[in-house]
Amino acid sequence: MRLLEETIQRIEGLDEVMMEKARERVDSLIKPPKSLGRLEDIAIQLSGITGKLYPVVDQKTIITMAADHGVYEEGISGNPQEITWAQTLLFAKGLPGVCAISRVSGAKVIAVDIGIKGDIPEDAGVFNRKIKHGTDNMVKGPAMTREEAVKSLEVGIEMANQEAKKGANLLGTGEMGIGNTTPSTAILSVLGNCDLLEITGRGAGVGEGGIEHKVAVIRKAIELNKPKPTDGIDVLAKVGGLEIGGMAGVMLGAAANRIPVVIDGYISTVAALIAIAIEPKAKDYFIASHASLEPGARLANELLGIEPMLTMDMCLGEGSGAALAFPIIDAAVSMMAYMATFAEVGMEI
């Protein structure tokens, strides 16, 4: 708990003075006002985060949290739970989708076992930060204790701190976990006070009972555990997931280190909602990558209050959307560094 508290205390607002300087430069570039749209907003945000007029984001890392879920016992997924274990082993080999996409921008991808059911071999190239072998079944009680939820947040913070010390200046969040749209939707329902039928989707493959069964399972878990919407840690503990807590921790850690963090799709966005429930100022450091195809994604983005930059009909997870967004952030940085102003080329406006 101490690391979480210390991290929260380190999160400060953006550098408003530098943002104003960045805004003045963007407005003076050789282009019609606002003609580069979101690129301009990103550049200004990066200046506010880093305190630099010309930010640098040349060392990128996506931190993918992997964990399993006890609620899988309820038949909410049509995929074998063992896929979490098997797929996580492929990250160090560079074979999953997020790794392939990350090659475009030269981003590093690291996988973290924060709660996989089963042991990952020590030589697999996966960071072992396991808290437990999957969450407990949330229809029979809390998914985890409050202490375990805090630990999941602190694992994420530790990973963000580790990468910051290695020189990372842009982070992305990702996840791997069969069945994790179920706790994500439970969290969203609690925080957004919304109808489960409107936000529950198929995920990577819904079980034989279909959407109706998945909804019934989530509703039962919420009614049993009664998570408090005003307490993000309580919601995470009662109906959440270890990888969701881990991603929220990465986001808080990024903000404390004044590093921008790119949010992936639906599950990462739900993790971002947990993060800002714990410390609202962290939101200033977030960049939303893409609009997931999951039914709850739109509401999650609306609650977060950050519009995703891409609509690509994606719902893979892993951090794939964050990886795809990295080159756009590179473009915003390049615009700031290399595009001339009217004054610099001797033109009057």
Range 62-81 burial, b when 16+ CB lie within 10 A, else e: bbbbbbbbbbbebebbeeeb
The DSSP string of 243-295 is HHHHHHHHHHHHHHTT--EEE-SHHHHHHHHHHHHH-GGGGGGEEE-B--SST
Q: Is 208 a catalytic residue?
A: no
Q: State which H helix or E strand residue 52 sits in.
A: none
- Taken in order 103, 67, 130, 254, the sign of the CA dihedral is positive
* 210 C-beta neighbours (distance < 10 Å), count: 11
What is the spatial distance between Cα 269 and Cα 45, in angstroms, rounded to a whole number? Answer: 19
CA-atom Rg of the chain in angstroms: 20
- Tell me which residue of 328, 331, 347 sits closest to 339, measured CA to CA: 331
Q: Which two tokens stand for residue 165?
A: 């010390």
Helix residue ranges per DSSP H, the chain: 2-10, 16-28, 37-50, 82-88, 97-102, 146-165, 181-192, 196-199, 210-225, 232-239, 242-256, 266-278, 297-304, 320-338
Q: Of these residues, 148, 163, 318, 344, which one is catalytic? A: 318
> How many CA atoms lie within 13 Å of 56's alpha carbon, on the beta-carbon side?
4
Start-to-end CA distance of the chain, whole Å, equals: 55
The amino acid present at 286, given as its one-letter code, is F
- Which residues share a beta bridge with 251? none
Q: Do the Cβ atoms of 322 and 62 come closer than 8 Å?
A: yes
Instruction: Just list the catalytic residues.
Output: 318
